[in-house]
Amino acid sequence: MSDIKYYSTNLKAEKVSFSEALLKGLAPDGGLYMPEQIPRFSKDEIASFSKKEYHEIAFFVLQKFLGETIPSTELAGMTKQAYNFDVPLEKVYDNKYVMRLDQGPTASFKDFAARMMGQLMQYFLKQEHRNMLILTATSGDTGSAMANAFYGLRNINIAVLFPENEVTPRQRKQMTTLHENVQILSLDGKFDDCQALVKQAFNDPELDYLNLSSANSINIGRLLPQSVYYIYAYSRLCDIEKGDEIVFSVPSGNFGDLMGGLLAMKMGLPVKKFVVSTNANDEVPVYFATGNYKTIVPSENCISSAMNVGHPSNMARIVALYGGIMNADGEILKKPDLEKMKEDMFATSVDDSITRETIKRVYDRHKVILEPHGAVGWEGLRQFMNCEKPTENQVCVSLETAHPAKFPEEVELATGIDPELPVSLSKLDDKEEQFDKLESGYENFKIYLKSKYGA
């Protein structure tokens, strides 16, 4: 299967190998790379995962996509190094779980993708004797996860652009205290503005010399690793011999997390339903309900700040997965099979007041602490269960995408508890911050990049 090619969702660029798709990020026609074929697991393979550790499942999944591109022993070493932390499945009640994807070095689920991607990029860059500048926009967690994953790597510099007023001080410190090959930039604007600047830089021939790559959820190198925890959860909670199916609820912003889940399903994982839970940025739930997709500009500011996205870039991929075409502006050029999408996914939106109520209710009833993103996921799951009434013993897993200690004000407001900091975060307070403020407008961004990274 090593010759799986990657096509662009805009269908106007050449198909490329995995390493090219990984190192390019965005396709030259502005589209996102998608695998031309999706490898399938046999039933026996899925059954065998129950005896494998997380990093072994990750190895297995990646090798399905990569074939012999990376020698087995090296790939196994890379997954082992990337996944050296726990993935707790915390029981809330009956067969309803929260999967805590917050035990990595930046206490965000983005560590899962970032750490693997750092390893993969370094491997291919070394092979090709090349250097690269990673340029990424973040609403908080991507940037810190990427900055940490790439910090100290050779052949790679990373510049991270964040919206000044949309990240918490702790999220900011996770990026601004690293230095070395990590450059941090703040913009007086929204996440979407940051993302627009990054996209423009990618399409600017004058910046070709920088050998830019993205590390946003648009990069295919982030999606493949994000399919693994779905498979892992199934392996721990379900039995394929018994025909078990699983429900996942995914708190969604740019829809990379969900795309990973959809890939796992296409690989053969028996998923009954994905609950797609958004905050007040409800363009996708509205699309499911009405068939009309309308981006939200500017995006709504919600307490689940990493999901304040008015037009998720991965929508183009999801639409492609269901036979349609969506361009970068969110226009649907060819309709996907919306009925099939609704069979696979239940989409709903949860506003801030319900998010806060959910944090409180889940703590009061079950003594489980959620932060705003995880609470959006949990509430989406509750709505799905109310609406579609699965059997009582249906296994359901809601993803908790950040550590509650990253959102101490909201958690304390709802539960009265100031969540304890994981070690990775507690060390930040004494470190010195360093970042540059960017004036708005693309020209300023370009001038900055040229001066910083030599024209």
Ligand X SMILES: *Cc1c(COP(=O)(O)O)cnc(C)c1O
**What residues make contact with ligand X under the rule CB under 6 A?**
108, 110, 141-142, 217, 251-257, 306-307, 373, 401-402
User: CA-to-CA distance for 260 and 318, rounded, in angstroms?
Assistant: 10
Tokens of 364: 């009061």
Which residues pair with residue 212 across a beta bridge?
133
* Cβ distance to ligand X smaller for residue 195 or 394: 195
User: CA-to-CA distance for 88 and 398, rounded, in angstroms?
Assistant: 12
Q: Smallest distance, Å, CB 28 to ligand X?
A: 24
Q: How far is CA 70 from the centre of its chain?
A: 24
* Cβ distance to ligand X smaller for residue 76 or 104: 104
Q: Smallest distance, Å, CB 165 to ligand X?
A: 17
User: CA-to-CA distance for 259 and 359, rounded, in angstroms?
Assistant: 26
Q: Smallest distance, Å, CB 145 to ligand X?
A: 8
* Cβ distance to ligand X smaller for residue 167 or 240: 167
Q: Smallest distance, Å, CB 444 to ligand X?
A: 26
Q: Smallest distance, Å, CB 143 to ligand X?
A: 10
* Cβ distance to ligand X smaller for residue 256 or 422: 256
Give the list of residues 6+ apart from residue 280 with CB closer than 8 angstroms, or none.
300, 302, 349, 351, 352
* Cβ distance to ligand X smaller for residue 211 or 401: 401
Nearest residue to ligand X, by Cβ distance, number only: 141
Tokens of 94: 């009956």
Q: Smallest distance, Å, CB 192 to ligand X?
A: 13
* Cβ distance to ligand X smaller for residue 31 or 404: 404
Give the list of residues 6+ apart from residue 216 with CB closer than 8 angstroms, or none.
25, 136, 137, 142, 195, 198, 222, 254, 256, 313
Give CB contacts under 8 A, 24+ apart, made by 71-78: 74/123, 78/116, 78/119, 78/120, 78/123
Tokens of 277: 């839970």
User: CA-to-CA distance for 453 and 210, rounded, in angstroms?
Assistant: 8
Q: Smallest distance, Å, CB 84 to ligand X?
A: 20
DSSP state of 3: T
Report DSSP letters for 216-236, one per residue: STTSHHHHTGGGHHHHHHHHH
Q: Smallest distance, Å, CB 129 to ligand X?
A: 32
* Cβ distance to ligand X smaller for residue 213 or 304: 304
| Crossing angle of the two packed helices 191-202 and 442-452, in degrees rounded to 10 | 60
* Cβ distance to ligand X smaller for residue 177 or 195: 195
Q: Are 59 and 76 a contacting pair, CB within 8 Å?
A: yes
User: CA-to-CA distance for 190 and 139, rounded, in angstroms?
Assistant: 8
Q: Smallest distance, Å, CB 249 to ligand X?
A: 12
* Cβ distance to ligand X smaller for residue 108 or 148: 108
* Cβ distance to ligand X smaller for residue 147 or 307: 307
* Cβ distance to ligand X smaller for residue 176 or 252: 252
Q: Are 254 and 314 a contacting pair, CB within 8 Å?
A: yes
With b for 16 or more beta-carbon neighbours within 10 A and e for fewer, the 398-435 pattern comes to: bbbbbbbbbbbebbeebbeeebebbebbeebeeeeeeb
Q: Smallest distance, Å, CB 77 to ligand X?
A: 27
Q: Are 213 and 23 a contacting pair, CB within 8 Å?
A: yes
